Amino acid sequence: METAAYVALAGAILSSVGVVAARRPVRSALSLLAFFLTLGVAFVALGAVFLGIAQVLVYAGAIVTFFLLVVMLLGSGLSPLFDKGARALLSVVATVALAGLTVVSALLTPLPDVTARARGSAEALVPSLFNELLVPFEVASLLLLVALVAALTLTRRKR
Amino acid sequence: MTPLLVISLVVFCVGLTGVLVRRDLPVQIMSLELLLGASALAFVAGSLAHGLKGQSIALLIAAIAAAEVAVGLSLGVMLSRVHGTLDADEARSLGEERWRGARQEGRPRGARGDEEP
């Protein structure tokens, strides 16, 4: 199962590069779909079964569909796709520097090995989700409501 | 646990590069989704060693991602309606007149797929 997880995660890395590097937004959206599918497979292989299924349902079913809808509605337009020159170089250098720092600190920190397989079924998630994390859970529902109203308000036209 | 964290870091940095380097708003938001997915992976990696709380937090991350996509893409629709482009660098003006004027006049400048029902 460990190997399956790493194979799926390699696919996730490749498709995340595809999201950033694709020239057409539709291909970016399809790479995003591949990213979330491989991430869901990796979650299932790591034992987070319910989370993997929810990931595929929510992201691949709803969010990527929404992206595709908006991309097809708006078209890619004539806007430039990438930054050019010094700005892009600066961004990439800053990101690589951040990655290097974090990898070094992650390798220097003693982290526990993964020995105990966490079985993340839906039942097993209930105590943490509805007891310890009850307030964040309710705040998340409020956040979704606010986002819904915000999306409606932003795109509404005055008659 | 360390290899999982390093993989999540790689995906995070790829997504961060996308946010910084890409200029069209939908792809920037997709790169933001990569950031959220990478952090969810880090939480799952933690949950393998420290109990199931990390997986619950990863579920909450999915809700946050949905909210972010809704607001971000409606901003994209608004940007395309007002400026006629999806280039995020065009939205530099905080002045309200331009936005309000474009809303009331109701016609986009060069934006496609924007018909009144």
DSSP track, B19-82: HHHB-BHHHHHHHHHHHHHHHHHHHHHHHHHH-THHHHHHHHHHHHHHHHHHHHHHHHHHHHHH
Average confidence score pLDDT of chain A? 85
Write down the mean pLDDT value for chain B: 80
Which residue do the tokens 């003693």 mark? A110
Q: Which of residues 86-115 of B touch A (CB under 8 A)?
A: 86-87, 90, 103-104, 106, 111-113
Chain B residues touching A144 at Cβ < 8 A: 63, 66-67
pLDDT at A139: 94
**Alpha-carbon span B98 to A79, nearest angstrom:** 20
Give pLDDT tens digits for B19-58: 988 888 889 999 999 999 999 999 998 888 887 888 899 9
Show the tokens assigned to B61: 């991350």
Partner-chain contact B17 A77, CB within 8 Å: no
Closest CA–CA distance from residue A125 to any residue of chain B (Å): 6
Residue A112 CB neighbours (<10 A): 12
Residue of B nearest to A58 (CA): B62
Percentage of chain A surpassing pLDDT 70? 91
Which tokens in the block code for residue B78? 């608004």
Q: Are B65 and B49 in contact (CB under 8 A)?
A: no
Per-residue pLDDT at B96 exceeds 70: no
Q: What percent of chain A has pLDDT over 90?
A: 33
The band of A13, judged by pLDDT with boundaries at 50, 70 and 90, is very high
Residue A77 has pLDDT above 80, yes or no: no
| pLDDT higher at A112 or A56 | A56
B47 touches chain A (CB under 8 A): yes
ipTM: 0.87
